[in-house]
Structure 1
Amino acid sequence: MVEIPLELTQKCVKCALCKSVCPTYPYIQKEAGYARGRLVLAEMLLSGELKDGEAYKHLDQCAMCRRCEWVCPNGVEYKEIVATVRNTQRKSFVKSAGLKSLELLQSEVGRKVIKLTGKLMEKLPFEEVKVPFPTGAVKFMPKPNGKAFNLRGKTFKAEQEKGVLLFFTGCMIDAFYSKTGENVIKLMNRAGWTVVVPEDIKCCGAPHYYSGDKEAFERLKEHNLKEMEKYQFDAVVVACPTCGGALQEDYGLKKKVYDFAELLFESNLTFKGRGTKTTFHVPCHSYSAMKVSDKVFYGLLKRVEGDQLIKGEKDKSCCGFAGLFSITNPKLSKSIQQEKIEDLKKTGAEVVLTSCPGCVLNLKDGTKANKTNQKVMHLADYLADCL
């Protein structure tokens, strides 16, 4: 029997406020379809009172967006409880393969394969490839990048340095969105920060932690902390809030972890737009894990002179990606994604911006599938273009 501390399980006062923000509940319509019910199932599974595979299924249907934590009046640590119970569950083949692939991607062989594949695919006239998965999911996935991992082991000096940042790039920027990584560095340099990119950072381990593979998370965390110790820096910067949340909450770092947008917001940089209509999707883990105020993102975009910023009614709703969730729960993920795409369409924006590479992937998939003709960009790429 696995036990979790009583102070964690007894914090929930069953108010059901979490129901109002849960992205999965509208499509499940059961008590087990949102945090309150899932917490009851988790406690029963961990105590041994319940051994039903159906209960695990309900927990697997959670996107771990942590919006429930965001609105919880009593500070229930939902992530810790669900991660603990998922650790007692036998992983499906698809989930195990997905988590292993993240470790393989950051191996010496994996990096070479990604880079070579990226170079071979560079001349193809499209950015995404339609990929079918054994679960029935079909997604437009980004091509590997020919410049994958090119930032590793380098220092990028600011002209008027006010400090040094360690840039924790993250798997998606490393392998698929290399230009975004370059633009984060460009923006940080212009804001006065020298940027160091570690040579051998692996996956942050957040997908493993959320999936309940705490052993793999601890292994990745130990490796990354040892690698980070090799460098002198004042703070850590990320362009992926899931990585940022893991570093901030679970790594025990003494240095502060910043979303790159926070540092830009604090700077005096200004931006010149082109009269573009833009809208912004706020990633769930930005506010639920990293606790970044959306005033940071909107404040920055209001400084882009000449552009028209249009806020969506559901700008903070989940996009439906949630990493492996979109592969293991394809119908549920598509329903959540569709709600987001409809909201983006209503804005009439030409460009959809967000600050998470996972959200970029899923929003591109959604806009392509729905043929909305809206361009999706990472905020770092857009702001770098507007400098």
Structure 2
Amino acid sequence: MSMEKFEFPIDLAEKCVKCGLCKSVCPTYPFKEEEGAFARGRLALAEMVVKGELPLTKEVVAQWNECAMCRRCEWICPNDVQYKEIMVHAREIQRKETERDFISEAGLKSLEFMQSKPGRVALKIAGILSKPLPKEIKVPLPTGGVKFFPKPYGKPFGIRGKTFRAKNEKMKLLFFTGCMIDVFYGKTGENVIKVLNKLGYTVIVPKDIKCCGAPHLYHGNTEAFEKLKEHNLKEIEKYEYDALVVACPTCGGALKEDYGKDWKVFSFTEIIANEDIEFKGKGEKVTVHVPCHYYTAMKLNPNNFYKALGKVKNAETVKAEKAQSCCGFAGLFSIKNPELSEEIQREKMLDFKKTEADYVVTECPGCVLQLRDGVKKFKNQQEVKHIADYLGERI
């Protein structure tokens, strides 16, 4: 197999000095305990495949597919090895040179369909028809096991194409909503706007942004990512704003790292942490799940969560021991690797249970999905909320 047609950053891979520090933070290694089950081994496999020292076998592909792309290895790496960049190229080779991965292709196509005109109509109908159903629906996975997925929101895309003006405007923020808020967690989007308006931020929601493309990029589908990026850039250029705001760190990471723009991208929690505002608690205990991409892709300080929650009077914040560990969702990772995902999830839920908190808050819709699924599976008597919902209910 010739690799000449692929631009592979071999110089980046060779920066890895094989120290193994990444082993200590990898979410998959403790459950696999193999050299290929953490960043050092996966990088070594990529390097050998590109150099022609190792064929691209099913075993190599399996090791790459078991990576959650949380990027915690980058966060701890002393040599600044750009793991994401390398694995994107490795997975691009994998996608073009091996058998089709139908689960990945179907998952990524569904994200594109959701944001199309027919998809939006279908989801609005689905939102109406699913009203009598519970908030989470038990769905069998094609790879075995089950997962509790949220039903479509009753008013999907309800905030799209609107401007929500603050009374005493100090800044205009363009809200890049993201697929899951658009389709499943519409109330979260409404609460983001409610809180930001209260603080004096006018919020603009573009009418026709599509998926940020991060899931496609992380799976090596660079062509689809470029098309989505090009579309989103054209749509965003139609509006006048001072900065972007996200309530999903994976979207935020893509906008900061991969869109080639020198723009300011705020996370919702980051803004709250630095504002003078008070929320009214109800005597509850709260603990935090810090999404991996919050500090790896967006490169933000996890302490923002504790600063933001510190503004809730009559509520106690309890720090979980593994607050920054991966929850095991990672999009299609949890569908393709249900057993491995559930092992990581189990560890998180046991850690949260020790805190005796009433609420688990986070700033990632995907993590909300995974943690709510975990609450049901592991019988945690805790309520999982996006931090925008938790704070929005306490203004």
TM-score scaled to structure 1, two decimals?
0.98
Aligned AA (2:59):
E
Equivalence for 2:348: 340
Q: 1:14 aligns with which of 9, 14, 18?
A: 18
Equivalence for 1:73: 78
Q: 1:102 aligns with which of 105, 111, 122?
A: 111
Q: 1:123 aligns with which of 124, 132, 141?
A: 132
Aligned AA (1:114):
L
Q: 1:226 aligns with which of 214, 229, 234?
A: 234
Instruction: Tell whether 2:69 aligns with 1:60.
Output: no
Aligned AA (2:79):
N
1:23 counterpart SS class: coil
User: Given that residues 3 and 46 in structure 1 are in contact (C-alpha distance below 8 angstroms), is that contact kept between their aligned partners in structure 2?
Assistant: no
C-alpha distance in 1 between matches for 2:160 and 2:257: 24
Instruction: Tell whether 2:67 aligns with 1:50.
Output: no
User: Given that residues 3 and 47 in structure 1 are in contact (C-alpha distance below 8 angstroms), is that contact kept between their aligned partners in structure 2?
Assistant: no
Write the mapping of 1:346-385 to structure 2, written as runs, cut at 5 A.
Answer: 346-385=354-393
Shift of 1:102: 0.5
C-alpha distance in 2 between matches for 1:46 and 1:172: 36
Shift of 1:137: 3.6
Equivalence for 1:166: 174
User: Given that residues 283 and 316 in structure 1 are in contact (C-alpha distance below 8 angstroms), is that contact kept between their aligned partners in structure 2?
Assistant: yes
C-alpha distance in 1 between matches for 2:107 and 2:9: 30
C-alpha distance in 2 between matches for 1:290 and 1:16: 24
Q: 2:211 aligns with which of 203, 207, 222?
A: 203
Equivalence for 1:271: 279
Instruction: Tell whether 2:96 aligns with 1:92.
Output: no
2:93 counterpart SS class: coil
2:80 counterpart SS class: coil
Shift of 1:242: 0.4
Shift of 1:240: 0.3
Aligned AA (2:347):
E
Shift of 1:269: 1.1
Shift of 1:3: 4.3
Q: 1:26 aligns with which of 20, 26, 30?
A: 30
User: Where do 4+ consecutive residues of structure 1 move more than 3 Å?
Assistant: none
Aligned AA (1:49):
E
Residues 148-198 of structure 1: CA distance to partner in whole angstroms, max 9, x if unpaired? 001110000011111111100000000000000000011111111101000
User: Given that residues 92 and 220 in structure 2 are in contact (C-alpha distance below 8 angstroms), is that contact kept between their aligned partners in structure 1?
Assistant: yes
1:89 counterpart SS class: helix
2:334 counterpart SS class: helix
User: Given that residues 129 and 140 in structure 1 are in contact (C-alpha distance below 8 angstroms), is that contact kept between their aligned partners in structure 2?
Assistant: yes
Shift of 1:272: 1.1
Residues 90-134 of structure 1: CA distance to partner in whole angstroms, max 9, x if unpaired? 34111110010100111101111111111111133x200000121
1:76 counterpart SS class: coil
RMSD: 0.9
C-alpha distance in 2 between matches for 1:292 and 1:5: 26
User: Given that residues 8 and 90 in structure 2 are in contact (C-alpha distance below 8 angstroms), is that contact kept between their aligned partners in structure 1?
Assistant: no
2:69 counterpart SS class: coil
C-alpha distance in 1 between matches for 2:370 and 2:87: 24
Residues 250-289 of structure 1: CA distance to partner in whole angstroms, max 9, x if unpaired? 0012221110111112211111100001101000000010
C-alpha distance in 2 between matches for 1:188 and 1:270: 13
Identity of aligned residues (%): 60
1:57 counterpart SS class: helix
User: Given that residues 162 and 192 in structure 1 are in contact (C-alpha distance below 8 angstroms), is that contact kept between their aligned partners in structure 2?
Assistant: yes
Deviating more after overlay: 374-383 vs 258-267: 258-267
Q: 1:240 aligns with which of 229, 235, 248?
A: 248
User: Given that residues 351 and 374 in structure 1 are in contact (C-alpha distance below 8 angstroms), is that contact kept between their aligned partners in structure 2?
Assistant: yes
Write the mapping of 1:314-329 to structure 2, written as runs, cut at 5 A.
Answer: 314-329=322-337
C-alpha distance in 1 between matches for 2:230 and 2:7: 25
C-alpha distance in 1 between matches for 2:199 and 2:11: 43
C-alpha distance in 1 between matches for 2:361 and 2:392: 13
1:278 counterpart SS class: strand
C-alpha distance in 2 between matches for 1:21 and 1:210: 19
Instruction: Tell whether 2:192 aligns with 1:188.
Output: no
Q: 1:39 aligns with which of 34, 37, 43?
A: 43
User: Given that residues 172 and 357 in structure 1 are in contact (C-alpha distance below 8 angstroms), is that contact kept between their aligned partners in structure 2?
Assistant: yes
TM-score scaled to structure 2, two decimals?
0.96
User: Given that residues 351 and 376 in structure 1 are in contact (C-alpha distance below 8 angstroms), is that contact kept between their aligned partners in structure 2?
Assistant: yes
Unaligned runs of 5+ in 2: none
Residues 17-54 of structure 1: CA distance to partner in whole angstroms, max 9, x if unpaired? 10000000001101101000100001112233222221
Unaligned runs of 5+ in 1: none
User: Given that residues 283 and 315 in structure 2 are in contact (C-alpha distance below 8 angstroms), is that contact kept between their aligned partners in structure 1?
Assistant: yes
Aligned AA (1:368):
K
Equivalence for 2:310: 302
2:94 counterpart SS class: coil
User: Given that residues 244 and 259 in structure 1 are in contact (C-alpha distance below 8 angstroms), is that contact kept between their aligned partners in structure 2?
Assistant: yes
